[in-house]
Amino acid sequence: MIEARDLSKRFGDTLAVDHLSFTVQPGRVTGFLGPNGAGKSTTMRMILGLDHPTGGTATINGKPYAQLTSPLRTVGALLEAKSVHTGRSARNHLMFLAQTQGLPSSRVDAMLDLVGLRDVAKKRAGAFSLGMGQRLGVAAALLGDPQVLLLDEPVNGLDPEGVLWIRNLMKHLASQGKTVLVSSHLMNEMAVTADHLIVIGRGKLLADAATADVIARGSGQSVRVRTPEPGRLTELVTAEGGKAVLADTPPGDGGSAAADEAPVLTVTGLPAARIGELAASASVVLHELTPQLASLEDAFLELTSDSLEFGHLDSAQLDSQPAQAADGGVR
């Protein structure tokens, strides 16, 4: 179990982590989500005793990291930043870590087999690809068979096979009753990996809830309705207390019949079944009736919209920027 209590970290004038409190429970994968610069890595580094908190405490199984005897047997960590000497072989890197914990060399070889690095174990780690480096990091994290795992952006730069491998590994470890905290700025990855989410923005806690709840709390459920009579359906929906908005969907929008040029309404506040009943009772023809699940991405953007490190750019701004750059080039 990982506990952060009132955890704060100040770098100069910036409060990178702002009185953060949360608990990470064993037996499930907890996603640590936030935009770049939200304070995820700093929080993890404070939990791991690498950075000193400006205020508050972080404990693992009730103890600060520095008080752990044989810490690698309690906590395994994969940091985003490189932590391997480029001139040292993978095996020697794991070997010195094992020796600090009194672990046998057989454990090093078992980990090299586990992550598939046995054939390159004697090669310099500096010659490793990003994916191989990440596998070595996972081997180091699992070396002491720890009960608690902290993984900082573990799937960054991995190919699809590697992403799947990490995802399955995390789920497997959680199923063994281990505590797994994994940070990411990739919402979709967290949606399929994490059972529970801790969302932060600008160092502040934004949400600490089950992944499904975070999604549900987002924009809410909506229903996509395609009908040749949008006016009549809008009246019916509004009369029932719902809200219908005409979506400016281009003809042949993916997902629905390509030839259908009937307008699309996005209805909120009413379940799909009720909309179908309303349409049937008034004999309004429907071409499509699809409940839309709010994605974690929507929920995340909504939660963090006030707390982005960088100002929000809307599409109009993005579109205008290349034009400005081109002007500058001419002058």
Partner 1 sequence: MTTTTAAGQLESGAARSGVRAGFGHLMLAEWTKIRSVRSTAWTLILFVIITIGLTALFTWVTIANWTGLHAAPRDARALADPTSIIFGPSIYLGQLTICVLGVLLITTEYSTGVIRASLLAVPKRFPMLGAKIAVFAVLMTVLAEIVVFCSFFVGSAILHSRVSVSLSDSGVLRSTVGAGLYLTVFGLFAMAIGALVRHTAGAISIAIGVAFVLPILAGLLPDTSFFNHLVAYLPQQAGSVVYQVHPTGSQLLSAWEGFGVLCIWTALLLAIATYLLDRRDA
Q: Is 72 in the site for partner 1 (CB under 8 A)?
A: yes
Q: Which is nearer to partner 1, 77 or 223 (CB)?
A: 77
Q: What SS3 class is residue 127?
A: helix
Q: Is 144 in the site for partner 1 (CB under 8 A)?
A: yes
Tokens of 16: 């990178």
Q: Is 89 in the site for partner 1 (CB under 8 A)?
A: yes
Among 4, 24, 48, 191, binds partner 1 (CB under 8 A): 48
Number of residues engaging partner 1 in binding (CB under 8 A)? 56
Residue window 161-200: x/- pattern of binding to partner 1, with contact defined by CB under 8 A = ----x--xx--xx--x------------------------
What is the phi-psi region of residue 255: left when phi exceeds 0, alpha when psi lies from -120 to 50, beta otherwise?
left
Among 62, 66, 283, 331, binds partner 1 (CB under 8 A): 66
CA distances in angstroms from 10 to 52, 246, 247, listed in the order given: 10, 47, 45
Q: Which is nearer to partner 1, 1 or 63 (CB)?
A: 63
Phi, psi of 159 (to 5 degrees): -75, 165
Q: Is 93 in the site for partner 1 (CB under 8 A)?
A: yes
Which residue from 33, 14, 69, 84 is spatially nearest to 218, judged by alpha carbons?
33
Q: Is 152 in the site for partner 1 (CB under 8 A)?
A: no
Instruction: For the chain, state the CA radius of gyration.
Output: 25
Reduce the secondary structure of 7-44 to three states and give it as a string: EEEEECCEEEEEEEEEEECCCEEEEEECCCCCCHHHHH
Stretch that binds partner 1, among 19-27, 98-106, 298-306, 308-316 (CB under 8 A): 98-106
Q: Is 148 in the site for partner 1 (CB under 8 A)?
A: no
Which residue from 211, 220, 206, 178 is spatially nearest to 192, judged by alpha carbons?
211
What single DSSP character describes residue 49?
Answer: T
Distance of alpha carbon 301 from alpha carbon 323, whole angstroms? 27
Count of CB atoms within 10 A of residue 301's CB?
A: 16
Among 107, 123, 204, 232, binds partner 1 (CB under 8 A): 107
Q: Which is nearer to partner 1, 86 or 317 (CB)?
A: 86
Stretch that binds partner 1, among 108-116, 197-205, 227-235, 270-278 (CB under 8 A): 108-116
Q: Which is nearer to partner 1, 173 or 303 (CB)?
A: 173
Binding site for partner 1 (CB under 8 A): 45, 48-52, 65-66, 68-73, 75, 77, 79, 81-89, 92-93, 95-104, 106-107, 110-111, 113-114, 116, 140, 142-145, 165, 168-169, 172-173, 176
